[in-house]
């Protein structure tokens, strides 16, 4: 697994983020308190802010609004 210094993360520009074909998303931090739905598996209503020492791997995620999660795609 790459370290944060090797792969810079992005901030979600929209509430819903979907990986490009063949890629996966890795959520590395929640920047403020938000609802989080990962791969349409169900929503956690209030989580964050938190930095994750082990990223959450998924194909898609949704937050309450934009600019609430840091992630990278690989």
Give residue 12's pLDDT.
98
User: CA–CA separation, 31 vs 23, rounded Å?
Assistant: 23
Residue of 38, 32, 41, 18 whose CA lies nearest to 65: 32
- Tell me the pLDDT band of 7, cut-offs 50, 70 and 90: confident
Q: Which residue has the tokens 């929209």?
A: 14
Q: What is the pTM of this model?
A: 0.88
Tally DSSP H helices, then E strands, for the chain. 0, 8
Question: Residue 6: pLDDT above 80?
Answer: no
Q: What is the mean pLDDT of residues 24-42?
A: 95
């Amino acid at each position: 697994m790459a370290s944060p210094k090797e792969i810079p993360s992005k901030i979600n520009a929209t509430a819903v983020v979907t990986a490009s074909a063949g890629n996966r998303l890795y959520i590395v931090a929640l920047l403020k308190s938000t609802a989080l739905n990962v791969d349409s598996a169900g929503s956690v209503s209030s989580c964050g802010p938190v930095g994750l020492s082990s990223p959450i791997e998924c194909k898609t995620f949704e937050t309450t609004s934009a600019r609430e999660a840091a992630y990278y795609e690989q």
